[in-house]
Structure 1
Amino acid sequence: MDRTLLEGLFRHAVAQAQPALAIERHLPAPPKGRTVVIGAGKASAQMAQAFEKAWPGEISGLVVTRYGYRAECERIDIVEAAHPVPDAAGEVAAQRLLELVSGLSEDDLVVALISGGGSSLLPAPAQGLTLADEQAINRALLASGAPIGVMNLIRNQFSTIKGGRLAAAAAPARVATLVVSDVPGDDPALVASGPTLPLRGGRAEARRLAALYRLDLPEAAQRLLASEDNLPPEETDAVFANNSVATIASAALSLEAAAEMARGAGLEAAILSDSIEGEARDVAQVHAALAREIATRNRPFPKPVVLLSGGETTVTLRGTGRGGRNGEFLLSLAIALDGVDGVSALAGDTDGIDGSEDNAGAFVDGTTARRMREAGIDPQAALANNDAYGAFEAIGELFKTGPTGTNVNDFRAIVIR
């Protein structure tokens, strides 16, 4: 197995997405008045730390990040809250952010540091809803298999902070949003459900998608979705007229860096896509078919080669096991590559946590499924039970990094010798 190379590619891709490398190149113009820093996401604390060091003037502010993802700042408060299901700490932080940007003038600047995970970290239930309702909505979305764009449009309907509402609260102050993108296609409005950016898609579309994915929503949420209450500001709203947005790190940039590293190690690299979506187990089948074609027929790419891809797959919960979307992808890949020589792979979440467990991902080669069976694990049964974590734990192939300080979604690398 090309374990050292695979891990090196992952770590190099993650290094290219570190906020400290990108923040200084995207500093907004200083204002006449105050500079207030706000933010949310799994990379927001590291973004705040980098911004604080780079900004030439006075600043104050607050960002909220996931438990365990803290970075020390001197002038910006760092608050931790729960992900992927929101908690009371996140609700308090969301209210503090809304209060922080209230009462500003047109001479003031709000800098919004936004990264993936912010949707869960900023629960702010609409009137008539409770935190428990928002938690239930999140659980329903996480179990639905819906892509991130669908999830964020629906979450947006039940919030008083998402979908550009935080920017509207800051008006008439100018809002400069800096984004570390974890969404396929890098639409900045989809990252963290766009607290400072208007999200495309209206209430009728949200209703259609909630029905399509058969979401089991709380009664209060169903009533709100059926109404025209709590509508977000539209893209043409004047509150967004003087604002700006920049994507400072993304999966595309990280994959390109990994490809260059692979070529330096004597391997050709093929970036399949930085925006792959779909069921993790199905996406794995396509990757496996391509890897087998290269391994056995030396096409469509000649060996040796590394296949790279990113994006955000989904998992429809069918069982009671443990693991995230990268683990599910890899378990399905291991089954499809059972007995194939010369192929090894790593997939991991670039924030260091795959789902809710303690691993970023895992390693796979043509012997993985056999070794699972020898350890008493039926790979097919584990996949049916969504228990990728247990299957890889049993053979010692979990990949653990801890929090990485950034988040540009999934990283997948398959080496074919």
Structure 2
Amino acid sequence: MAGGWDDASARAALREMFEAGVRAADPLTVLAPHLPEPTADGRVVVVGVGKAAAKMALAVEQAWPGLPLSGLVIAPHGADIPDPPPVRRIPVRFGNHPVPDAAGAAAAAEILAAVQGLSARDLVLFLVSGGGSSLSTLPAPGLTLDDLVAVNRELLRCGAPIDAMNCIRKHLSAFSGGRVAAAAHPARVVTLAISDVPGDDPAVIASGPTIADPTSFAEARALVAHYRMRLPEAALRHLERAAEETPKPGDPRLANTELRMIATPMLALRAMAEEARAMGLAPLILGDALEGEARELGRVLGGIALSAATHGVPVGRGAVLLSGGETTVTIDGAAGEGGRGTETLLGLALALNGAAGIWSLCCDTDGIDGKSDAAGAIATPDTLARARALGRDPRAALAGHDSTGLFRALGDLVVTGPTLTNVNDVRAVLIA
């Protein structure tokens, strides 16, 4: 026991906090109050992309029973409602994440076709959540899907932050960066967004298909150079030609658009804080936009936790440090079964070096950390000792991007399956 907490109770508390954060962003709970009044004499077209797309579409159907709807949404393969209603008024198509596939590209083309030819009396409801960039990868004229698959792999490898990645994606796409809203003109376009990005910038969420894009081809080229990206020749030529810019702020085709943010990372963190208070813990939210290299952020969080445990600064024992945001993992060689959350967590565990009375959780609210089947993992005061007892070297696992493999061997993964929402990574460090 440490301050009234043992291993079992600390693990359970971390899981309960995480589940509270996910519940706070459940589309079936948060979406309906943000719906606009349906048009009286026009069509209602519902389209969307992202990890929460299937559940967001179901929330619309439940809120508007009997209303004629058309359109479709794109969700990741396997991320549909477990028990769908017998008839879906908003069909669900599927694409791949994080590497795009032909099914997602075909569905993105369907969405563009569905919003064209509308009038000012019609309403387009666009449902967007994180993950939509790869799900709706539709190549710009002159590019192929293979080109954009290669681009996407390089973006995931290079360690660029999400806003930089999406700037490049927008300028190689026929779908992103405001192009869906432009195609829907003159219809009214209302976007309901679940944010998974630092700062909740709607132009970054899924590369902003209905949002004016302030970035440029020149900026995209500069980012490619800065991160030394090895892009296909066709993509480089397209960026150099800069033939058709994305719709910019003030574009008249986007004049009849509106954004409504329905769930954010801070919303999830506040729900986690309330859960912590109910357990008698003092929560401290460090921020919802903590970025950087995953292992380095873990080191920083470990240092803060040690200061709290040793000096009572910025909080004392009996507290929990909460944070959110999207880290990056720079792949600099062969990679094992890694993930942003588990890599952050292993960096944190190494920084703590077995300090007594500190338990930690790092998870992705979509239920999938990186390419694994887990949302993330939990680290305990004896994580390093147990790993070494199994013959696993924690530092070697971190260097080889095999953090998930290490936590899997320890039985400490948090497995939820797809949650059908996405407000980015959350982290909780319990200091007993």
**What's the TM-score once normalised by structure 1's chain length?**
0.99
What does residue 71 of structure 2 align with? 61
Whole-angstrom distance in 2 between the partners of 1:354 and 1:77 = 27
Partner of 2:411: 396
Q: Mark the runs of 5 or more structure 2 residues left unpaired by the alignment.
A: 1-6
Residue 100 (structure 1) aligns with: 114
* Residue 382 (structure 2) aligns with: 367
Number of the residue aligned with 2:229? 215
One of 24, 27, 51 as aligned partner of 2:32: 24
Could you say which residue in structure 1 is the equivalent of 2:15? Answer: 7
The answer to which of 316-325 and 259-268 deviates more is 316-325
Instruction: Report the number of matched residues.
Output: 417
Which stretch has the larger CA shift, 374-383 or 225-234? 225-234
The equivalent residue for 1:344 is: 359
Distance 2:312 2:248 in 1: 51
Deviation, structure 1 residue 323: 1.7
Gaps of 5+ in 1: none
The CA deviation at 1:199 is: 2.2
* 1:324 equivalent in alignment to 2:324: no
Q: Report the counterpart of residue 3 of structure 2 in structure 1.
A: none
Match for residue 48 of structure 2 among 39, 53, 59: 39
User: Which structure 2 residues correspond to residues 17-416 of structure 1 after superposition, within 5 A?
Assistant: 17-31=25-39, 32-55=41-64, 57-71=67-81, 72=84, 74-318=88-332, 319-416=334-431
Runs of 4+ more than 3 Å apart: none
- Partner SS, residue 321 of structure 1: coil
CA distance, structure 2, for counterparts of residue 132 and residue 390 of structure 1: 30
After TM superposition, give the deviation of residue 150 of structure 1 in Å. 0.5
On the 8 A contact 2:190/2:258 being kept in 1, the answer is yes
Q: CA RMSD in A?
A: 0.9
Give CA-to-partner distance per residue, 1:164-207, whole Å, 9 cap, x none. 00110111111000001000111111100011112221111111
- Cα distance between partner residues in 2 of 1:354 and 1:288: 20
Please say which of residues 49-58 and 60-69 is displaced more in the overlay: 49-58
Q: Aligned partners of 2:191, 2:125: CA distance in 1, in Å?
A: 6
Q: Deviations over 1:303-343 (max 9, x none)?
A: 21000000100100123211210011011111111220000
1:255: how far off? 0.4
Separation in 2 of the partners of 1:147 and 1:246?
Answer: 24
Alpha-carbon deviation of 1:272? 0.1
State the 1:230 CA deviation.
Answer: 2.8
Q: Is the Cα–Cα contact under 8 Å of residues 357 and 381 in structure 2 kept in the other structure?
A: yes
3-state SS of 2:280 partner: coil
In 1, Cα distance between equivalents of 2:293 and 2:161:
9
Identity of aligned residues (%): 51
- Amino acid in the other structure paired with 2:187: A
Whole-angstrom CA distance in 2 between matches of 1:30 and 1:62: 17
Tell me the CA shift for residue 366 of structure 1: 2.0
Residue 176 of structure 1 aligns to a residue whose secondary structure is strand
**SS of the residue 2:200 aligns to:** coil
Write the distance in 1 (CA, Å) between the matches of 2:17 and 2:176.
Answer: 34
SS for the counterpart of 2:80 is coil
Residues of 1 paired with 2:354 and 2:336: CA distance? 25
